[in-house]
Amino acid sequence: MNLLLLALFCFCGLTAHTGKGVGSEVMRRSFCAKLRSQRIPTSFVKNYTMEGSLTRAVILTTCKGKQFCADSKAKWVKEIISSLDNATKMKQNTCQTKSKKSQ
């Protein structure tokens, strides 16, 4: 009985103190399974993320926070990336807020 209790205590102690190691890496929450072919207006996109080196996908994030995967080789995607990179260099906000009309 004491041996069983000791073994259970040791097992619980080992599992409670395991740290980050091989096999405990956190997987990314999102990945691109399907690429969008329909163009998104450049003014709707606030940033982008390249999806790994083996795939040719780009994750586009809109001003409203929606994310879409697109082909990084597509002409319209290249134009969005170029526009966002230029806006970053000039430190401009790509998402324009609509001003309220005065009454």
DSSP character string of 75-99? HHHHHHHHHHHHHHHTT--SSPPPP
pTM (predicted TM-score): 0.60
Which residue type occupies 75?
K
Residue 100: inside a domain: no
Q: Is residue 60 part of a domain?
A: yes
Give me the pLDDT at residue 12, please. 52
Residue 75 lies in a domain: yes
Answer yes or no: is 59 within a domain.
yes
Tell me how many domains the chain contains. Answer: 1
Q: Is the dihedral of CA 63, 37, 79, 85 positive or negative?
A: positive
Q: Which position has the token pair 């995967």? A: 69
pLDDT tens digits, one per residue of 24-73: 344 455 578 888 999 999 999 999 998 776 668 999 999 999 999 999 99
User: Range of 55's domain?
Assistant: 33-91
